[in-house]
Structure 1
């Protein structure tokens, strides 16, 4: 196989010899020059005077007195021209998005050398179409059809707004170009146009050789024509006769434009040479690969490269990404032993940690900053403290994290809380308030200072990609700041964040290396002029090939078409050429596409693939790739109680194997969890996987809410208890006080939520949600007190009373000794109407679900009813049984009664929280104690029975709220 550049090199050497010092070879892109240089040296067989290589873009720029403005500066100046011409005060924040569209339209007008005044003709006056001699008949018909939409009787508000803007676009265009020209700047299209219109421009090269172009814009055609007329231009066109148009009925868009240029700019190579222009239909092994995901295609590359003589072929083997987002997966899929690999597609800056760092820093100064008191919100502070580059900002970041999260819970830390060293002092610096006009500039300067700290502390980090990302981020932020300081850029902070995100998305970090050696991994645009023997094209889907066409524009399609501006058809034809040209000389071609219709994918192969299937007559092999792990609902299986599992289980619950502490080992919560789902029990108590705490969110979970209520109730009752009795007048005095209950709640909040310990006093600084929860808890406490006022006087035996009982489990010849129990919220003594005194085991419930009745004791251990009541019932009944068996209880004097007191449902003096079996209240637990104990032992024995595996629940409602749902994947 002879490559196109090799044929061009042969022809150049044969015609111009080896002294090419005054020859300029112009390519569409830079990449082809190194390949060309290698071919020229190889063909000459001796030292040569190398030509000058350039791109068409550099050629225009090098012959202009103007400089190409950067994208932000260009939009800033366009905004100024827009306001000046329209008289509006449109903010830059609102203008930026559609300012990019308008700049693109101006660029297109200039590159196609259209008359802006005629393009933006005021369509309100149809007579402006009288002088249209410069248009052909088809263009005239297109315009008349479009302008007919603006007849007076058809005008709508939307059309009027369009006409209002349209009438100013010509003035904006001229004002904008004058503004830039006065600064020695230009956007790309204007710069190109000025070069070709400037007859004083001198092209000093002896000859200019244009190689491998496709669609030529008008400015390029003018340049080609001028150099051709001066006798300096030679042209080499890369195509295949297969897709060149033969007649109007049989045409392929891939060759449409080249065919129209051949007469004006004749090809230096013989177009009848089948060895150069007749390779599309010969020596082809083509395979279409259908894959269910993008990543499967990337991993398939590893297998594809291992096919015989593909890695050995080196630079003759290429992997082309139609979706460049595959780059990272591809890099990790390169097989061992591949040797040299050259990657032409840059690493996207937005995939580096610097991108997230910029967003976190801006969030810290905006949503994370509380102007009153100069404080920050914990969530945003923790976000930056957890960033991987925090280690380059402050060596004290871990200690700082613990200070505001573990040692104390500071939801709104101030500057003194966050000041650990110079790094944190710089990081938690207040740039200004939202009303400050220069806030965006202050934030940019602050971010630059942070990046400098990272650069200094990471100067010894030997990671080129990290250093390149750091440098590009620093450069980008410096450019933004310089525009703000010069007065060119005035934006709100919200727009600053959007602008930075857009700019970061446009930056890629180039991989350095010699492109003429090793396997080539590249994007579609880098393939121009290059030929490969072995070719793998990935993600060749409709939407990627051709690339999803963005035709957003202020210039309607009809006017674009009439004035020869770029349309959708142009863009499709360009990609059609890229596709066909890429495979025309390849021998082994594999094209993969994603057939999935999930996550926004259309699941369609490229239209160009379909076109080859239908029109080429080539023998195409089709294969499908399937993931080894098929997607679907995971069905967790039972977990056997192996020797290791049993050792961990007994180690967790057998008190003889544990030392220290007097807490119950087997709690009602553990038993309830086992009955709800045995896998939940296994993950929590055997594997030791604790549920994640909500350690930085400002939302309070149910557990924390309940703890605050319980502790507050305990403090209140202990404060008014006299000789273990609660009297009505004391409760009423507490209710009349406006500060007593809130003061206690604040104290518990400080200890439980803010982790400030006892005795700190004062009201904590609540956020909105915490303040709401505080008021709800105060309301609940008042309800509890009001209910107990009707019950008083009554005796309290204990508040938050621990109840623990030894519990033995027989497993064959082995006995497992554990303890069972928990903590009773309140143990009190009340008197029934009959005068019989009973001990109540009271459990407070702050939830909204009230369940107080069951049919019998069996229902407590009925797994099918686990969601209904046994979570609460089992706990209260167990505590009651333990209390009833206590040596301190006189069975002749007291009954023991289980009670669930639902705070939300208490009402009136006759509220009774006593549990019931059916319609009968459980005024004494002892008649049920024996049966309860038997059922409890049966259930617990199942936990420790080695022959019974841990099996998952079949209740999907339980799964939906399970903390281990992702682990189990039920």
Structure 2
């Protein structure tokens, strides 16, 4: 394999002209470094290097204009827009930038393709008018504004160009148009022979430059195209070359150089389907691990999707000692980037109190935790502890230790709507972080920090030069644009070791072994998406590039990688669902359908080996310490919730009650269901506590209904801290709580009006009693809190409130043996029977009583009584009263359960919890 650049240099070196007298123009700067390297290999002796330029640098040199970046062009465009727009119609910069970026792209295309702007914009305005409003007899103000925008495009275009020219600046399209206009002057003033090498898709301005220089004998063009593609008139790879051969007068009697014969040579091509992008990265590591050392330097890993850079680098095997990464690491992916982005995002809201999630993302950032010695983490704990949804600056500063107070002030005191203040704060923060880092251990972080220092300075220069950044929201938007275009270059030896690059970096370069990732539709080629105001038909009429031409560019890059390569592995994602997924690329299908004789193509899919994961249920044996802990629990008292937790899953009981491990409390932004239940319970307790040992009356209940809103709010404040209750879901939950209580009180009134009597005996009574078990040598107690005990028409009732929905069948049992084993069916009967046992221990039950549940979501069914059903009588209800017989049967099962918990030979064995299907 002889690379294209080597072929070109060999031919030029064979001439009598010294190589230093040539000027090389290449598609990109990376190809220039390879050209110099190859020149050194071919000459073997010191020579003066020729002048080497990228096509963009060459265009700037010819035009005499300085190309500006997109952000500067956007700011200049806004100045031009303000100049030619009536003051009362001027949009703010945020609104302007939402459409101006697209318009700048279109201006760029118009200039690069040398389109006469006046008739073009006229056609565009007419098309918009006919497409949208031609059926309307009268134009509304909306129509007038819409059409006015399209009619003003030529005004915006001319004003922007005028403004940039006065400063000797230009956007890329302007540079190319001016270069095409001044190329004759450049030719007259330069005697060097220019070598254009490795080009494919040229815009009209570039074509004009090439043809003028060819016509004047000031240049030669070395094309890199294979005979296979050039002869195939249907192949997209040669789409542009065929046009140049046909349309350029120069090629009517001149040779079209250089046509290679490499693509049809012997090649090993593997088309490999792999699930997921990360799977591709891991498989690259497996491929590279098998390469001998001498092959590594002739190997390129080309990323169709450049976001795979880090996964690929992290998957490199140990035998890859040297790696050269041609693309930069995007600064927006640096850890410190998230800190600055979160700060700007939080302060751009314009609020005085900070939203807790914004605060947590900043205070828990590893870099901030480090330089504050963990002090910023105290804020997180306090927010969770006090359940704060919105937090003031004063609260934060009062928590901050003196040593980290300055950091807290920079981050968490208001920046106001002052972009300049924001820049100053971030600069100071960068300095404080720098001071807290170790130059020896934190080289990478310091490098990222330095790049952000440069970026903030650039942002500050924009702020000083232009007056458009008037809010933090605008500053944040510009910051995101700047950081997305900034990258940190990797350091490496460009001509040794493994080469890792993107598709554009592979232009003009050739490798023996190529591994290409993400060969999927939507990546290679990119698809039909177009960020442009220009309709497809108008683009076709003016020969502007459409998705057809863009697909041809991707086709050229793809097949150029294959042109001189001998071993190719083309990887694609087989998963067609989720993000970054698409079907197999058409390029792969084309290879399979139209194989060449010398191409050995194999296609297969690779799936990662997924070992069978044995989900063994965990078992914890009881040792001496665990038994001591169980004795302590037994002495303090087993509660219904503790025992039902054991029934549901013994391992949960072990974690919660033996190890005392609880779920970490998080900020309750929206009122949780358990908080709602607590509020309803405590509201009813507040009302009914005043009526203990008294008969309920309609008057009392009606007074309670009037007091409900105030009492509900009071309870929410006690249990929900300072969380907002007047908006969003919380407002709905607040209203639900009121409705629950009021509806319940109304149901009580209805019951009384029907002639029933209710006497409140106990409310939220905390009970504790012994439970004698002869088989145990230590005391056992039971405890629990009964929501309500009353007399209904003289009969004692034990009532448990539930804010969730409970049906009658959930308080019924058939077999006593199941009550201590089936949590889903019998947890509620277990709970109310345990309350009955506690009350019996306090005052022995001599007469039958009722026990049950009042469900606030099922109030229409009233009091849901515990029932024992006869299993031999097809489910017929046998008994709804709690009798001595009932208590005796339950206590027998309760004793078995406690004995199991206290048995040192029975371990805590995890139960497999069945997931509910929704």
User: Could you say which residue in structure 2 is the equivalent of 1:598?
Assistant: 577
SS at 2:15's partner residue? helix
1:646 is the counterpart of 2:628:
no
Deviation at 1:331, TM superposition (A): 1.1
- Could you say which residue in structure 1 is the equivalent of 2:110? 109
Tell me, in whole angstroms, the C-alpha distance in 2 between the residues paired with 1:112 and 1:857: 85
Give the structure 1 partner of residue 338 of structure 2. 356
Taking the aligned partners of 2:539 and 2:709, their CA distance within structure 1 comes to 74
Match in the other structure for 2:408? 424
SS at match of 2:515: strand
- 1:696 is matched with 667
Unaligned runs of 5+ in 2: 870-876
Contact 2:223/2:256, CA 8 A, preserved across alignment: no
**Distance in 2 separating the partners of 1:218 and 1:798:** 88
Give the conservation status (yes or no) of the 8 Å contact 2:654–2:908. no
1:700 is paired with a residue of what secondary structure? Answer: coil
> 1:3 maps to what in 2?
3
Question: What is residue 133 of structure 1 aligned with on the other side?
Answer: none
Which residue does 1:412 correspond to in 2? 390
Measured against aligned partners, the alpha-carbon deviations of 1:510-532 in whole angstroms (never above 9, x if no partner) come to 21222111101111100011111
8 Å CA contact 1:288, 1:590 repeated in 2: yes
Cα distance in 2, alignment partners of residues 949 and 496 from structure 1: 58
Q: Does 1:548 align with 2:527?
A: yes
2:173 to 165, 171, 189: 189
Asked whether the equivalents of residues 302 and 500 of structure 2 are also in contact (C-alpha less than 8 Å), the reply is: yes
Find the aligned partners of 2:810 and 2:579 in 1 and give their Cα distance.
Answer: 51
Matches within 5 A, 1:602-617: 603-617=582-596
Are the counterparts in 1 of residues 680 and 712 from structure 2 also a CA contact under 8 Å? Answer: no
2: distance between equivalents of 1:603 and 1:733?
65
Name the counterpart of 1:130: none
Contact 2:303 2:503 in 1 (8 A): yes
TM-aligned CA deviation for residue 356 of structure 1: 3.1
Q: Taking structure 1 as reference, are residues 293 and 159 closer, same or farther at Cα in structure 2, changes over 3 Å only?
A: farther
In the other structure, the counterpart of 2:885 is 927
* CA distance in structure 2 between the partners assigned to 1:700 and 1:936 by the alignment: 35
Structure 1 counterpart SS, 2:122: coil
1:204 is displaced (CA, Å) by: 4.7
Unaligned runs of at least 5 residues, structure 1: 127-145, 433-437, 755-762, 961-970
Change (3 A) 1:823 1:947: closer
Deviation by residue 1:248-285 (Cα, 9 ceiling, x = unmatched): xx442212323444676789x99799xx8111121311
Q: How many angstroms apart in 2 are the aligned matches of 1:124 and 1:64?
A: 31
Structure 2 equivalent of residue 521 of structure 1: 500
Q: For 2:271, what is the secondary structure of its paired residue?
A: strand
Determine if contact 2:808/2:865 at 8 Å carries over to the other structure. Answer: no
Residue in 2 that maps onto 1:628: 609
Which residue number in structure 2 is paired with residue 139 of structure 1?
A: none
- 1:396-795 aligned at under 5 Å gives the runs 396-406=375-385, 408-419=386-397, 420=400, 421-432=405-416, 438-439=417-418, 442-443=421-422, 445-458=424-437, 460=439, 462-490=441-469, 496-600=475-579, 603-617=582-596, 618-629=599-610, 637=615, 639=617, 641=619, 645-647=620-622, 654-655=627-628, 663-665=636-638, 667-673=639-645, 690-693=662-665, 695-711=666-682, 714=685, 720=690, 725-726=693-694, 732=700, 735=703, 742=710, 746=714, 749=716, 752-754=719-721, 768=727, 777=737
Distance 1:272 1:470 in 2: 48
Distance of 2:132 and 2:645 partners within structure 1: 71
Tell me by how many angstroms 1:881 deviates.
1.9
Q: Does 1:119 align with 2:154?
A: no
Residue 16 of structure 1, CA deviation: 5.2
- Are positions 1:213 and 2:199 aligned together? yes
Match of 1:825 among 786, 793, 807: 786
1:381 equivalent in alignment to 2:363:
no
Contact 1:23 1:205 in 2 (8 A): no
Q: Take 1:891 and 1:697, find their aligned partners in 2: how far apart are those partners? A: 42
What is the CA distance between 1:481 and its match in structure 2? 4.4
Cα distance in 1 for partners of 2:129, 2:812 equals 81
Moved more, 397-406 or 915-924: 915-924
Secondary structure at 1:106's aligned position in 2?
helix
Counterparts in 2 of 1:647 and 1:346: CA distance versus 1, 3 Å:
farther
Match of 1:138 in 2: none
C-alpha RMSD over aligned residues:
4.3
Contact kept in structure 2, 1:483 and 1:489, CA below 8 Å: no
Query: 2:508, 2:299 → 1: CA distance?
Result: 15
Look up the match of 1:844.
801
Higher mean alpha-carbon deviation, 511-520 vs 919-928, is at 919-928
**Is it true that 1:15 corresponds to 2:1 in the alignment?**
no
Aligned mates of 1:661, 1:413 — CA distance in 2? 43
Alignment of 1:79-478 (within 5 A): 79-82=78-81, 85=84, 87=86, 88-122=89-123, 164-198=148-182, 200-201=185-186, 204=190, 206-245=192-231, 250-261=233-244, 277-309=260-292, 311-367=293-349, 370=351, 374-391=352-369, 394-395=372-373, 396-406=375-385, 408-419=386-397, 420=400, 421-432=405-416, 438-439=417-418, 442-443=421-422, 445-458=424-437, 460=439, 462-478=441-457
Asked whether the 8 Å contact 1:213–1:238 carries over to 2, the reply is: yes
For residues 469-488 of structure 1, give each alpha carbon's deviation from its aligned partner in whole angstroms, at most 9, with x where no partner exists.
33444444444444344444
**Structure 1 residue 366: deviation in Å?**
4.7
| Structure-1 residue corresponding to 2:51 | 52
Q: CA deviation at 1:586?
A: 0.8
The aligned residue for residue 31 of structure 1 is: 30
- Gap change, CA 1:805 and 1:278, over 3 Å in 2: farther
Task: Tell me which moved more, 724-733 or 205-214.
Answer: 724-733
Which residue of 2 is the match for residue 952 of structure 1?
A: 912
Deviation (angstroms), 1:326: 1.2
Kindly indicate whether the alpha-carbon contact (under 8 Å) linking 1:540 and 1:606 is maintained by their aligned counterparts in 2: yes
Distance in 2 separating the partners of 1:96 and 1:588: 47
| Alpha-carbon distance in structure 1 between the residues aligned to 2:327 and 2:390 | 44
Q: Give the corresponding residue for 2:872.
A: none
Report the equivalent of 2:874.
none
Contact 1:323 1:539 in 2 (8 A): yes
1:6 and 1:266 mapped to 2: Cα distance? 24
After TM superposition, give the deviation of residue 594 of structure 1 in Å.
1.4
- Where 2:523 maps in the other structure, the secondary structure is coil
- Judge conservation of contact 1:321–1:524 (CA < 8 Å) in 2: yes
Structure 1, 219-228 or 728-737: larger mean CA deviation:
728-737
The one-character-per-residue Cα deviations of 1:175-225 (angstroms, maximum 9, x if unpaired) are: 221122223321111022213323554765733222211112222223333
| Rounded Cα–Cα distance in structure 1 between residues aligned with 2:726 and 2:169 | 51
CA distance in 1 between partners of 2:192 and 2:912 (Å): 82
Specify which of 811, 829, 834 is matched with residue 873 of structure 1.
829
Which residue of structure 2 lines up, in the alignment, with residue 963 of structure 1? none
* 1:289 alignment partner, SS class: strand
Partner of 2:873: none
- Write out per-residue CA displacement over residues 16-44 of structure 1, whole angstroms, 9 at most, x where no aligned residue: 56x54443322111112222222211211
State the match for 1:69 in structure 2. 68
Q: Secondary structure at the match of 1:825?
A: strand
Q: Separation in 2 of the partners of 1:947 and 1:956?
A: 27
- Aligned-partner Cα distance in 2 for 1:860–1:880: 18
Paired residue secondary structure (2:294): coil
Q: Secondary structure at the match of 1:298?
A: helix
Q: 1:502 to 1:858 in 2, by over 3 A?
A: farther
